[in-house]
Chain A
Amino acid sequence: MNALVKEPAILWTDVGAVTDVPRRGARRVPSPRGDIAIFRTGDGAVFALMDKCPHKGGPLSQGIVHGQSVTCPLHGRVIDLATGEGTGADKGHGCAPVVPLEVVDGRLMLGMVGG
């Protein structure tokens, strides 16, 4: 097992190296509640969201990553990677839940709960 307990109830799970995610790109991690999308910006920052656009459930991991946003591949909704919410005119129409993500020694650690 490569899950380690950091806080009560949250299991930090190693899902891969930061460099496994292409710059300005994303990768998917399947989970019991659906895919999780892990994004890496041009600046190298990483974010994790549930891979479902708040608009019509499009897979955000398949969109174009620009600045700190991703454009959903289905209808072009622009989602802020830090909050999972729409930006600009798309704001206030739901959000893609944020998944806790930490980087430890270049590894991506997703925050999970037992279930």
Chain B
Amino acid sequence: MTQQASKQRLVVIGNGMAGCRVVEDILKRDPGRYEITIFGAEPRVNYNRIMLSPVLAGEKAFDDIVINDEAWYRDNAITLHSGRAVTAIDRASKTVTAQGGLVVPYDRLILASGSDPVRLPLPGADLAGVVTFRDLDDVDQMVAAADAGGAAVVIGGGLLGLEAAYGLAKRGMKATVVHLMDVLMERQLDSAAGFLLTEALAQRGVETVLSAQSEAILGEDGRVSGLKLSDGRVLPCSILVMAVGIRPNTALAKASGIGVARGVVVDDQMRTDDPDIYAVGECAEHRGVAYGLVAPIWDMCKTLAAALTGDDASAYGGSMLSTRLKVSGVDVFSAGAFAGGEGCEDIVFRDAGRGVYKRVVLENGKVAGAVLFGDAADGGWYFDLMRQGADVSGIRETLIFGQAITEGLSGLDPSAAVAAMSDDQEVCGCNGVCKGQITGAITAQGLTTLDAVRGVTKASASCGSCTPLVEKLLKLTLGDGFQVQTGPAPMCKCTSHTHDVVRRAILDGGLKSMPAIHQALEWTTPDGCASCRPALNYYLICAWPGDYQDDKQSRFINERVHANIQKDGTYSVVPRMWGGMTTPDELRAIADVADKFAIPAVKVTGGQRIDLLGVKKDDLPAVWADLNAAGMVSGHAYAKGLRTVKTCVGSDWCRFGTQDSTGLGMRLEKFMWGSWTPAKVKLAVSGCPRNCAEATCKDVGVICVDSGYEIHVGGAAGLHIRGTEILTKVATEEEAMWTICALVQLYREEGWYLERIYKWMDRVGLDSIKAALADPEDRRALYDRFAYSQRFSRIDPWAERVAGRHTEEFNPLSRRLEFEPA
């Protein structure tokens, strides 16, 4: 008993993961040193809080997640006061006071009070059925709500919010996650992984509403009935979970005069500014960081246990973080930084078949971060490499394939590694083809090309990711006899696929967004480049009119601001003049605009309209407003789309005119304006073969003759000079309209981005174009698709901007600074 009395008294405030872990660590090091008392605010033994998500999802029971049961406290002679919060610390007399007036003295005191979930101060936040996701009581409330069925809303698309939503959906509720940001788990994931996560959750019954600001919680009879968003949408629900973050629980420390910033401030030994009081876990703040994940908390506990058992050298140096999402079947891992910086390099691997996306970011030859989706088995390995700061330049080639492959091939150069592979080692995972089958086929059947190998063995014929390996096998087997084929060029450096393959995949695979294309076609970059993004944006607009939301950030500046950038950074503005016709009123309005905005140059263009040059970007919306007011719309002089329809005066005025060329030109322009095309499209209609409108050097030209209309295609008068070819001749204006729209639609569907009509014609051949338009029904179908698409395109972008759309594009971020950049 005397020995007992000489023991130091250790009091732990907090019976959670940190509090108990540090006690366990102390007991492991020196079981007899302290007389231990633990206070817990929850009326329970110690349980694994991070496993609450599986409990909510019904995948585990509470008993499964208990870390230390009552026997542990008893066996280790720990006094547990559960359900009893500590209300005061008296640092002078070194005692703590708990609810009910219990006073316990301490020699050493550990604050492990954890954190509180943040509750948004929304109207209606106090309604019944509005919960957070922190402890078992919250889980019980959610389970009760789920038993009654109905809908659940979770505010917060972070780790915890997604796990809550998944759990509720698993219990049969219609769950919706409302997230303020445009990417789920934006602190841990890049936009590619965020997109995949959104899709995977949707398959598991969790809907996602991104970029959504919550405005008010609605209620009926004192109980939550829905969430109102700032855009007016209402999401009905019978339970609402706020999972928007945590705040270190510092009230007790603050009231006791202990130093507190965001959390309780501790040094490298986890000591507060009172030498006998320590803090660990989510309530602590170390070197300015308050952690909310379990791994750093374990590190802190280890250090503190060492410090409290006489090891003065032990010090906590902060933690690198990694994250795993606990949603069944959705494997997500993230660690480190992937936002890049100087000397950063991305390695991306995608496997569309397995729904895998992996991205490892290297910085100066070391792993700086990793995002893994769909296959996170190597997360720990990348995290270790990152923490060790290991130089990975030597294993860069295989790094992305993971630890097993990298270590299997270590020390071998890639060709030697391929040579060293055993014959039964699998090369093509999609089709299950081994090395021996490939080399066997090459020798036995005298194959010399990649395509031949694909044809015979199927190796690399599906996803294509093993193509380099198959090429190496060809080279190895044939020696100098192998020559790399040159086929159609890939779209850009982000992919090995051609434009045609990508366009077909968009339609066949129902791919309706850029991230969906990136994943399905295994892009090698996280989010594309400056060449493929505008191309994909166009392909999506063309494939899914009215459905696809245009991506402004993937457009070249001219299309983003509906004007042409000039060499000094000013813009030129060209209002539309239908068929080249104008009026005194329009001309007056143009003159007034030029005066009002001090526009330095006014020029007549080659397309029969007027160009206002030198307009400042900030003035653009006001210039457009004035032109709109005079009845003019954007001339799309900046667009990969329909530009001008040049006409002559035709039978209206000209003594040689055979048809109303001006009228047809205006009719064409009024129907076709606003359409997006692979490259610019210029039309012209001449009223007779004298061809004053120069129709035979346009993308599409019409030459009117007595008996009807000759339709010409494929002219150019720019970098290349090309006369048109005759496509067909029709008898009526109606037929001319139909044929031209069908032709342009065919070009829209087949042309590669930035490929002018004459180049497209050279590539596919005029005969193929004629054949595609020969059948009246095919022609009609093309025309109908064009007409449908035009329902969403004949919108004046100027008027939309004048009405306030995307004003941020034109306004500087801040007022003019008074100081100079450092």
Do A and B interact with each other, yes or no? Answer: yes
Q: Hey, which bits of chain A sit against chain B, CB under 8 A?
A: 3, 9-11, 13, 15-16, 20-25, 27-33, 35-36, 38, 41-45, 48, 50, 56-59, 62-69, 71, 73-74, 76, 78, 80, 82-83, 97, 99-100, 108, 110-115
CB atoms of A71 and B340 under 8 A apart: no
- B798-822 vs A, CB cutoff 8 Å, 1 = contact: the mask equals 0000000000100011111111111
The stretch of B435-443, B520-528, B625-633 that contacts the partner chain: B520-528
- The CA of A32 and the CA of B817, in the complex, are separated in Å by 7
B471 within 8 A of A: no
The number of residue pairs between A and B whose CB atoms lie closer than 8 Å in the complex comes to 151
Q: How far, in Å, is A56 (CB) from chain B's closest CB?
A: 7
Q: How far, in Å, is B469 (CB) from chain A's closest CB?
A: 26
CB atoms of B822 and A64 under 8 A apart: no
- The CA of A112 and the CA of B821, in the complex, are separated in Å by 4
Q: How far, in Å, is B661 (CB) from chain A's closest CB?
A: 37
- The CA of A38 and the CA of B813, in the complex, are separated in Å by 9
Please pick, from B528, B565, B808, the residue contacting A22 in the complex, using a CB distance under 8 A.
B808
CB atoms of A41 and B339 under 8 A apart: yes
B534 within 8 A of A: yes
User: Given A32-B817, A32-B819, A42–B190 Cβ distance below 8 Å?
Assistant: yes
CB atoms of A66 and B528 under 8 A apart: yes
Q: How far, in Å, is A72 (CB) from chain B's closest CB?
A: 10
Q: How far, in Å, is B620 (CB) from chain A's closest CB?
A: 12
User: Given A67-B346, A67-B525, A23–B557 Cβ distance below 8 Å?
Assistant: no
User: Given A43-B191, A66-B528, A114-B819, A16–B533 Cβ distance below 8 Å?
Assistant: no
CB atoms of B340 and A115 under 8 A apart: no
Please pick, from A24, A44, A50, the residue contacting B821 in the complex, using a CB distance under 8 A.
A50
B556 within 8 A of A: yes
- The CA of A13 and the CA of B820, in the complex, are separated in Å by 11
Q: A21-B813, A31-B816, A68-B341 are in contact. List 15 more A-B contacts (CB 8 A).
A: A22-B553, A22-B808, A24-B553, A31-B819, A31-B820, A32-B817, A36-B821, A43-B340, A44-B339, A45-B341, A57-B568, A62-B557, A64-B556, A67-B527, A108-B813
User: Given A13-B819, A30-B817, A110-B821, A45–B340 Cβ distance below 8 Å?
Assistant: yes
Contacts of A29 in B (CB 8 A): 812-814, 817
- The CA of A11 and the CA of B186, in the complex, are separated in Å by 30
8 tightest A-B CB contacts, nearest first: A45-B339, A112-B819, A27-B813, A15-B814, A24-B553, A82-B342, A71-B530, A30-B816
B120 within 8 A of A: no
B354 within 8 A of A: no
CB atoms of B527 and A82 under 8 A apart: no
- B159-190 vs A, CB cutoff 8 Å, 1 = contact: the mask equals 00000000000000000000000110010001
Contacts of B567 in A (CB 8 A): 56, 58, 74
- B188-220 vs A, CB cutoff 8 Å, 1 = contact: the mask equals 001100000000000000000000000000000
Q: How far, in Å, is B234 (CB) from chain A's closest CB?
A: 24
Contacts of B568 in A (CB 8 A): 57
Interface residues of B in 280-325 (CB under 8 A from A): none
Please pick, from B182, B526, B553, B569, the residue contacting A64 in the complex, using a CB distance under 8 A.
B553
Please, which residue of chain A has its CB at the minimum distance from the CB of B527?
A42
Contacts of B822 in A (CB 8 A): 9-10, 99-100, 111-113
- The CA of A74 and the CA of B567, in the complex, are separated in Å by 7
Interface residues of B in 14-58 (CB under 8 A from A): none
Contacts of A65 in B (CB 8 A): 553
Q: How far, in Å, is B358 (CB) from chain A's closest CB?
A: 15
Please pick, from A32, A74, A100, the residue contacting B565 in the complex, using a CB distance under 8 A.
A74
